[in-house]
Structure 1
Amino acid sequence: MATTLFLPFSAYAADEPAPGSSKGGKPGPAAIADVKITTELPERITVDNKTEGTELTAKVVNNGTKETGPITLTVVGFDGMRITAVKGCGQIPKGQLPPGSNSGFACVIDNVAAGKNRSYAVTATYDLQKAGKICLPVTEGTGKKLLWQQGPVAFGTSKPTPNAPDTPLLLGTDNTPAAQGDKPAEPSKPGKDAKPGKPDLPSTGIGDRTLALGLAGALLIAAGGAGFRWTSRRAR
């Protein structure tokens, strides 16, 4: 039986001063007043035109006055953007991804102190002939209580550069594939393949939905023994 190794508390990148953006994000229904969680993505990334590879940093920030306690940051790709790895995080099994998404990783975090952040190195591929989006939900513990969600938000460009070494993409911009000339790319629709009755990820730009119940189960799998350790720590 194939198994996937998850490292709930493995190394993460040190706090970085690099500027980021919470564009396309908003608090979830379970947001806590004293714990002001947000996420940040870079305003600009570049995609290698030959390999379709790209790298970015996903950050979860606590702007509140109290620590977060256990939370989970999830990085999910849609349409032309596929997440291939998030350093220190566990891959969500294909069968438990949110409907409409193509990839996802869960970063189980023991705590983020007030005024602090955690940064994660993300690698991805981007099919420049399609529109592509990324989503960063933050949930309480390894459950389904949504504290914050950014996206699904687009990375893209209206000026393709197929003959250049790479193509710069801007956050919050729908992608226009080179083959389509001046014709705008059809906006991606997260969850468009979802079956009736199956909840989808909420969207901060296309209309709110409730957090997928299947994702909560995936986070529990990604957490591994983290939940037990949290429980033991609290008991002590």
Structure 2
Amino acid sequence: MEKSRIIIALDYPNEEQALSLIRQLDPAQCRLKVGKELFTRAGPSLVKRLAAQGFSIFLDLKFHDIPHTVARACLAAADLGVWMLNIHALGGLSMMKAAQEALANHPSRPQLIAVTVLTSMDQAALSQIGLAGTPEDNVLQLALLTQEAGLNGIVCSGQEAPVLRQALGKEFLLVTPGIRPAGVDPKDQQRVLTPREALAKGANYLVIGRPITAAPDPMMALRAIEAEISNV
């Protein structure tokens, strides 16, 4: 059976809280995302520990630097046994190609995807940093550049997924954060969809954090989302 399309974002400030949730999970039930805060506090040892337990790990560090530095960082991440990692498309074509080429011959090559426009950024935020065009325009331009570089996919809002799926084809991965089940406060996310809506629009994987991790009963929240998307 195919593993879950749900990637639980371990939005915890320390390893102990993350492990408290993980002890309740079967690796076949979900995938896990380790981001900047938890990685900075717990380090590579936690990632290795989770991978050794059979969890598919998305290491979400959004590498963005000169090509050589990003390539070496991607190799280091791959050596941790992660299933997926990401870089930032704003680093440009040369940087993304360097990352892709560095991983090409890795014995357990992870999926390599790129971040385009953060889901917390709306039109006003893009204008403030000098990017012309709508969020959708920028996402599409960066997604096409990512595909040209040979990466496996992108992180994007589910709202852009239909256009991206049409432009990029069926094999290109769309990993969608900013997921909020119906009735849940979107908080700092500006472009959000429900899990069912995101998958129906073409997303492959859903990154879901606080609606599960901050729920009074995280497992009940996960099961409710699984039920919502079971027939999509």
Larger helix proportion of the pair? 2
Instruction: Point out which structure has higher relative CO (alpha carbons under 8 A, 6+ apart).
Output: 1
Q: What TM-score comes out, normalization by structure 1 length?
A: 0.27
Q: What TM-score comes out, normalization by structure 2 length?
A: 0.28
Larger strand proportion of the pair? 1
